[in-house]
Amino acid sequence: MAISKPDWFKIKLPDGNNYSEVVSQLRQNKLNTICQQARCPNRSACWSAGTATFLILGARCTRHCGFCAVEKGQPWPPDPEEPRRVGEAVASLKIRHAVITSVTRDDLDDGGASVFASTIERIRQLAPSVKVEVLVPDFQGSAEALEVVLAAKPDVLGHNVEVPAPLYPRLGREKANYCRSLRVIETAKKAGFITKSGLMVGLGETREELRETLLDLFSAGCDLLTIGQYLQPTPHQLPVVKYYLPEELADLKKEAEALGFLGVMAGPLVRSSYLAHRLYLRVRGCVT
């Protein structure tokens, strides 16, 4: 049985001229954003702050994770013009921090790594001052695919663990995938990149499981971390087991910072790309 959202849980509706401009540009350029596909509640805040998260490689995912509202099924082949269109949109919108993510494309030999690389390169050409963060899938554990992305030199390499390992079967994932995700972070860190991951809470995890996950991520070399409340996007996804109080999320933030993470954002509406430029500036020592 679904539990009711607390009275204090407020979501600000998107508004503002910049929001409308971004929506218009996305339509004109036939681009997707995870902000829209995943029904993120922070679209207005991020777009107004000059951060946007582009969803490349189509809008249909080959995996069937129980928490995600992105369309599932057999995707279309990659669009060779998509990297150019993303670069042009980033330049025309005067975005200062672009996050590039994708659906999971297990149907492709490289998992879409070459498209990530091409998109980074196009943004560098068309908007050289923009910081580029990528939020990549696990590429089914392919070190070669990950290296293709790293060779394009993103400013931040992100990969979300999502939940503690014991919850993976509930999401429709194998427990072994948790270790595979940690290896993505570890590989990028060893290669000298700023690394980032994200956690959802409220799906039935215990505090001890969260503590172990924080330790695992830090040990793997994760620099930046986001922690947010899971919200059931539609009745077809997993229900919320618990709504965390803001104070509980603040405690998790303090715990992560005490471990040594360089930047942590935690809150009911925090998502992996939420105000991504602020976390990037923190790791660069520009923001306290």
Q: What's the whole-number mean pLDDT along residues 79-90?
A: 93
Whether residue 132 contacts residue 122, with contact meaning beta carbons closer than 8 Å, is answered with no
Say what the pLDDT of residue 32 is.
56
pLDDT band at residue 288 under the 50/70/90 scheme? very low
Question: Concatenated DSSP letters for 145-209?
Answer: HHHHHHHT--SEEE---BS-GGGHHHHT--THHHHHHHHHHHHHHHTT-EEEEEEEE-SS--HHH
30-44, 64-78, 130-144: which has the minimum mean pLDDT?
Answer: 30-44
pLDDT digits (tens, 9 = 90+) for 25-59: 655 655 555 555 445 555 555 555 567 788 899 88
Around Cβ 72, how many Cβ atoms within 10 Å? Answer: 15
Within 13 Å and on the Cβ side, how many CA atoms surround 116? 34
Around Cβ 267, how many Cβ atoms within 10 Å? Answer: 17
Provide CATH code, domain 17-283: 3.20.20.70
Q: What's the whole-number mean pLDDT along residues 209-225?
A: 98
Q: What residues have CB less than 8 Å from 42, skipping those under 6 apart?
A: 35, 269, 270, 271, 274, 275
Rounded CA separation 35/62 (Å): 19
pLDDT digits (tens, 9 = 90+) for 225-268: 999 999 988 888 889 999 999 999 999 999 999 999 999 999 99
Q: Is the pLDDT of residue 194 over 60?
A: yes
What is the end-to-end Cα distance of the chain in Å, rounded? 42
pLDDT band at residue 11 under the 50/70/90 scheme? low
pLDDT band at residue 69 under the 50/70/90 scheme? low
Domain parsing of the chain, residue ranges:
17-283
Token pair of 280 as six digits? 């990037």
